[in-house]
Structure formats: structure tokens, C-alpha cells
Amino acid sequence: MITSFLQLLERRYKNELDSDAHEFIDYAVNGAKRLDSMINDILIYSRVAKKKRVLERVDMNTVLKKHA
């Protein structure tokens, strides 16, 4: 919602804003997108953490070799 609102402001006042204002809006939009991503990741983590799972150690070298 924050991202959409900022983009709406930028579209509506595009011709009235200087380059600094456009830069500030872009910075705010990128920050809002990162925040949205972090919130979604926390929600995913909270769902995983609620389930009773048996965790096991994984050799990350093996994983990296498979995906390299």
C-alpha cells in the first residue's frame, strides 16, 4: 500500500517534482518493497517454526556443488 501510494504521488505530480524529489520517492519505494519482502519472509518463517519438524545438519558444500 505504501509503495502504491508513493507511485501514485509520483505519477500525479511528475511534472511538478524536481530530480531530488523523484530520487527521494524512488528511495522510499525501494525501502517499502524491501520492508514488504522482510515481512513476508518473517510470516513464512513463523509458519515453518510452528510446525514440529526434525532438523538435521546439512553439508552445505554438497548443496553448493549440486547447484554450481
3-state secondary structure 7-68: HHHHHHCHHHCCHHHHHHHHHHHHHHHHHHHHHHHHHHHHHHHHCCCCCCCCCHHHHHHHHC
Give residue-wise pLDDT tens across range 10-49.
899 989 999 999 999 999 999 999 999 999 999 988 887 6
Give residue-wise pLDDT tens across range 51-63.
777 778 999 999 8
* Domain span holding position 10: 2-67
pTM value? 0.62
Domain count for the chain, please give it. Answer: 1
Confidence at residue 24, expressed as pLDDT on a 0 to 100 scale: 93
Q: Does pLDDT of 67 surpass 90?
A: no
